[in-house]
Structure 1
C-alpha cells in the first residue's frame, strides 16, 4: 500500500523530508507525521504504509525496539532510519533488526530519493557472501575450541573485525605458534590470515556502502581499516574500483532496473 510515515519530533526533519518527497516521483504517496512511537504503531496498524522514516532517539520508546515492533505488525514495511547517530553498534543493531536503510542527518534530496527508488523496486540486497548480518557484538570472552583452532580464529575475526587484529594475537588465542598458525590457516581457508581478514572487512564495508549514506571515511573506521586511504587501496585491489565508484554503481543499478 502506498504511504510514508515519518516518526520524529524534529520539525526541521519533518519539513525537509516532506519537501523532498513532494518534489519527487513519490509526490502522490500520502504522508503521515507523528512525534511518538506509540502513535506511529497505531498508524502502521491502521494504514499499512510502504515506508517508515524514523529517528532512533524517541522519547517514548527505544527507536530500534519501535522499528522491530513496526515490522512485526507490518512485515513488508521498509524501515528507513534517519538520524545523527553513527556508532558501530547502532548501525549493526539496525541491520540485525532487518531495517532497510540507515541515513544520516541532515538528509539530502538525492540520498532519500535514491533510497526510496531502490526499496520501491524491491531490489535492496539483504545479504552478501559470508556476511553474517545476524551476528552480535562479542560479550565477554568467546569460547575457545582448541580442537578446531582455525574455526575459532575465524569466529574471532567475525566478532572483532572492526578492531585492530594481529596474527600473533589470534595465534595466542588458540595456543599455536605464529608460524604454525599461519600455515594451518592458509591450508584450511586458501587465504593467508591478512587476506582473509581484509576480505571479510571489505564485504562488511560493501554492505554499509549499500545500506547507508555514511561517509566512506566513517565506513573505513567502522570496518577496522587503519585509514581511509588503506581502505580505498585494499578495496580497489579486490573489487577493481574505489569504494565511491562501487557505491555509485550500486545506486545506478538499483535505480535503473
Structure 2
C-alpha cells in the first residue's frame, strides 16, 4: 500500500503539484508518489482509473471522509463531509460501443486532455481522438448525428467512472440543490498542500538546530524526528 506518510514522498508530490498542468495533474501526482512508476504510461491511463487511484491514495494517506466546501448560488457556504472510499472503488471502463455497434468510444486519457487543451476546438479534438467507427477508423466529429453525439456523451460519462463523480447537496439557506463536479486530483493537491508546511517547518527547525541536510532529516524515522524536535525546542528556550 502506497501512502504519503513518508515526508520526503509527500514533499515530492507537493512540489510536482505546483508545476503540473491541470489536465495531467492526476498522473503526475501519482507518479511523484511512487504509485505509477512510468509517467508516460500514466498519461495514457483512462481518466477514471487515475481518479480512482488518487482517491485511494487520499484515503490511505489522510483518512476518510474529507471535509469539503461548496458555495451555493445564494452565497451560502456549505461544509460537506465527503467520503472518498466509494469513489476509490468505482470501476473505470476503457472502451464501449454505441449506435448499434457502429461507433467505438474510448475513455479519454490525460494525454487526450492535454491535446484538447492545446486545440482551438477542445471537444472536437476529444471526439476525434476517442471515437472510431466499426472498422477502427477515426470519426470526424462533424459527421456524427445528434443522436450519435448524445450516445457518445453518455458512453464517455459511464467510462469516466471516478472522474465523473458529481456532488449534490441541499442548501440550508435557500433550499436549492447545489451541484459540483468532484476533481479528485485537485482535492488530493489540497490535502497535500495542507500537510506540507508542517513538514517544511520541521526540516527548517532541525536544519537550523543541528546543521543537517534536508535529505538526512526527511530520512529520520517519525519518532526520532519528533524527539529531536523536542530537544531543539528545549535548546531554544
**TM (normalized to structure 1)?**
0.29
**TM (normalized to structure 2)?**
0.30
* Higher relative contact order, chain-length normalized (CA < 8 Å, sep 6+): 2
Report which of the two has the higher share of helix. Answer: 2
Give the structure with higher Rg (CA).
Answer: 2
Report which of the two has the higher share of strand. Answer: 2
